[in-house]
Structure 1
Amino acid sequence: MNVTYFSLNFPELTQTFVYNEMRGLKNLAVDIDVVALRRPASNVSSLPEQYGFSDRIRYVQADKRRLSRIAALVRGAIRLLARADFRTLWRLATMRDSDIRLPISQKLRLAASLQPGSSPSNVIHCHFGPAGRVVAHLKKLGLIKVPMTTVFHGYDITQYTDGRPDIYRELFEQADLLLPISDLWRRRLIDLGAPAEKITTIRLGVDCDAFDYRLRTIPAGQRTRFITIGRMTEKKGHRFTIQAFSQLVSRRPDLDLSLDIVGNGPLFDEMRSLAEASGHSDRIQFHGGLPHQEIKRLLDEAHIFVLPSVTAADGDMEGIPVSIMEAMAMGLPVVSTRHSGIPELVVDGNSGRLVDEKDVPALSSAMEELASSPDLVGTMGSQGRMIIEQGYNERSQARSLKQSLQQLQTKGI
């Protein structure tokens, strides 16, 4: 089986879950290719190279040279004329692509890369709705005639759709399978007009073998270490983590506590200033962005994971944060919020504690409950590991995805 991943930008540093999924399918004997419009100017991930995909990536950037664009148009027209595909020629000349805005020459080259004539892809697989829209447009034009799928994560069906309820009409028509990562996003897709029969929830997974589980204990006299991981953006709730931690330190001077904050982003300086103003900056350490191995080391040394995600002012929301999955895989109990798909992962009172968004006193109390209950930390951490093994295991999720993709062929799509 061959799967071609299509991406607008590849390989972005923050999309580890995409590369792990590719690796999971590869381990199941699926042949993987990648087609992308561009390479990120910064924050480039090295994982595709580590996983052996670096020679399977093709970039189809817009050509600024006029003669090259004309040559691409001529080659594309000749291919269509050779198979008497006058309908596609007419659509190319007359169909607008709303705000996708790809030159016709680039559309032709992109279609040729996604579906080479000598070896057509079995499935074109997109992560995030905007990427899916591009492929759906090519399919509606008639340039692509193979099954296509799209995975929906978070911003692509919240912030991205705000004020544009029909933005995915073409995608919903042309996609053969829509893959939200949570049941909440499944319902959101239906609300946006997606056909329910095209939707299958496929959860992200983590490699359980790569995250060593350890029963968390807090021996008497040992410092209790909280950790939070995520880009310094509004939806990650770093502001509320710092405020809740500061309240806890002030309220319980008898507890020896610290907070590690991992991540870079636009709010980094603001969050550092907030920590300094709290009066407890000596207990809070900012690490910035770190390699994955360093993050795993910090997780191994920590006792409690905190991520109070919120809906940002622009409507941006989480899906189900992979950082929570990784923390649970290593045996950390989680303090988080009733936000997006997080309650589908973290069971309140079982594998962690959930509070309402932006409720700093409740967040601080939940952190205190765990910090003052060593036995609860171990029990919740072990429950979290079990949840990951059973429902968010990269291997089992890859098998489910492969099965869903194969069903498209079985149905004769």
Structure 2
Amino acid sequence: MTDETERPRVAIVLKGYPRLSETFIAQEILGLIRLGLDVGLVSLRLPTDEREHPVHREIGQVPNYLPEYLYTDIPRVFRSWLKARRLPGYAEARRLFLSDWRRDRTPNRGRRFGQALVLAAELPPETGLIYVHFLHTPGSVARYAGIMRGLPFAVSAHAKDIWTIPAWEKREKLADCAFLVTCTAANAAHLAALAPDPARVGLVYHGLDLHRFPAPPPAAPGGRDGTDPADPVRLLSVGRLVDKKGYAGLFDALGRLRDLAWRLEIAGGGPLKAELKARAERLGIAERIHFAGSMTQSELLERYRAADLFVLNCRVSDDGDRDGLPNVLMEAQSQRLAAVSTAVSAVPEIIRDGETGLLASPDDPEALAAVLRTAIGAPELRARLGAAGEAHLRARFGHEAGIRAVFERIRRVLAR
């Protein structure tokens, strides 16, 4: 890189910022800043969460918020178009957009190009790279704007953004990007198979900032075993109330375990709350389930330490959406909390069945119930799995290595 006064800036494009459910992105941004990267944040949406994590305050930046819907700020979009159409890459970006439009005639596609006009017009002149989180909508905005400005763009791809867009779009973005990193081996293999140059695709685990999740105090001997209604086993699940988190199947599994003493707390909000509450009522388990809503990291840390067993019933949604490597699994394991999940996407990369946690088949409430029955009734097993999970996490999933890997890729692009 050049010296401190001449170093190029990296525009980091985000779908929404700040977001409680995307702390791993904020963690990476803070790490890149601490490594010396000059960054400017751009968000396609205004924030919707009422609270933020401490890491957002440490970053201390207010993003440039692009107009989420173009009609809400027509003068800004028009001014941007007047400026962008004089850029050397505008004609090529417009040609590319029209090619995409013919295959995807949706309002969202048009909105992407409009946001790209604003991004290209408003990027500071010292910008040397556009680095975008999520391959789908944000990736399109970054790609169009990068072409207009003659700038490279790079991508960090995660889950839904990979599995819910067509193969043609993935191939073309992979052909144009400077590099792409993704957070699971399954994602990396899928994208490398589509890439004209597989070497552009890299596996980089997000990892966990273990300073924010210090080791828990020693646990008391013994433990709850599901036999005492006055002292039930405390189950915890963390995640948005959306289909890919599999809460409906989890409730179906727990409905088979009414003979055991357990209570479930769910941290996270989302559109399926009313539907899930009704399902719990039908199954006769509503009194045992507490919907706690969204939480900050410090609040979650308390919940992890108070729980006996973590459960995340991941599944592949009908539209192909799925989790990558859920950060909440790493958070739970950092607190020596035994975890039960399903063999979906990258979950087996962190949970080795019978070694660092327990896995069930996805979309199989009966199989999940059997695994939960085993874990609820065996506090010694939970203690062994929790200790092994923590050791595996600390050995392989610290966040520093991943942030350094992204930083080095960015540095090489800027050096060119």
TM-score when normalising by structure 2: 0.85
Secondary structure class of the residue paired with 2:412:
helix
Residue 39 of structure 1 aligns to a residue whose secondary structure is coil
Asked whether the equivalents of residues 115 and 141 of structure 2 are also in contact (C-alpha less than 8 Å), the reply is no
**Superposition pairs of residues 321-332 of structure 1, within 5 angstroms:** 321-332=326-337
RMSD: 2.6
CA distance in 1, matches of 2:372, 2:94: 60
Deviation of 1:293 after TM superposition, in Å, equals 2.5
- The one-letter amino acid paired with 1:238 is Y
Give matches, 1:189-338, under 5 Å.
189-193=191-195, 195-214=197-216, 215-216=218-219, 218-219=222-223, 222-250=231-259, 252=260, 256-338=261-343
Cα distance in 2 for partners of 1:198, 1:15 equals 24
Which of the numbers 6, 20, 25 marks the counterpart of 2:32?
Answer: 25
**Structure 2 CA distance for aligned equivalents of residues 268 and 362 of structure 1:** 24
Q: Which residue of 2 aligns with 1:183?
A: 185
Distance in 1 between the 2:378 and 2:133 partners?
41
Task: Give 1:374's aligned amino acid.
Answer: P
Ranges in structure 1 where 5+ consecutive residues have no aligned partner: none
Moved more, 187-196 or 360-369: 187-196
Sequence identity percentage: 24
Tell whether the 8 Å contact from 1:231 to 1:265 is kept in structure 2 after alignment.
yes
Give, as a single letter, the amino acid of the residue that structure 2 aligns with 1:391.
Answer: R
Query: Structure 1's 18 and 89: CA in aligned 2 closer, same or farther, altered over 3 A?
Result: closer
Matched with 1:401 is 406
Contact 2:266 2:292 in 1 (8 A): yes
The 1:3–1:385 alpha-carbon spacing in structure 2 relative to 1, beyond 3 Å, is: farther
Change (3 A) 1:404 1:366: same
Q: Which amino acid aligns with 1:228?
A: S
5+ residue gaps, structure 2, are: 1-6, 102-108
Shift of 1:27: 2.6
Question: Measured at CA, do residues 31 and 219 of structure 1 come closer, stay the same or move farther in structure 2, by a change above 3 Å?
Answer: same
Q: Does the residue aligned with 1:249 lie in a helix, a strand or coil?
A: coil
- The residue type paired with residue 224 of structure 1 is V
Cα deviations across residues 306-358 of structure 1 (Å, max 9, x unaligned)?
Answer: 01111112221111111111111111111000101111111111111111102
Change (3 A) 1:368 1:50: same
Residue 65 of structure 2 corresponds to 59
Aligned to 1:128: 134
Show the 5 A alignment for 1:123-162: 123-130=129-136, 131-141=138-148, 143-145=149-151, 147-158=152-163, 160-161=164-165
Deviates more, 1:97-106 or 1:304-313: 97-106
Counterparts of 2:74 and 2:276 in 1: how far apart (Å)?
48
User: Are the structure 2 counterparts of residues 193 and 92 from structure 1 closer, same or farther at C-alpha, using a change threshold of 3 Å?
Assistant: closer
> Cα–Cα, structure 1 residues 384 and 60, in superposed 2: closer, same or farther, change >3 Å?
same
* CA shift in 2, pair 1:328/1:136, >3 Å: same
Residue type at the aligned position of 1:199: V
CA distance in 2, matches of 1:380, 1:397: 25
Q: Which residue of 2 aligns with 1:5?
A: 12
Moved more, 180-189 or 281-290: 281-290
> Does structure 1 residue 96 correspond to structure 2 residue 86?
no
Bigger mean CA offset, 125-134 vs 276-285: 276-285
Moved more, 329-338 or 382-391: 382-391
1:147-180: CA deviations, max 9, x gaps? 321111111121x22xx32023431121011111
Q: Secondary structure at the match of 2:127?
A: coil
Contact 1:140 1:174 (C-alpha < 8 Å) held by counterparts: no
CA 1:68 to 1:307, structure 2 compared with 1: closer, same or farther past 3 Å? closer
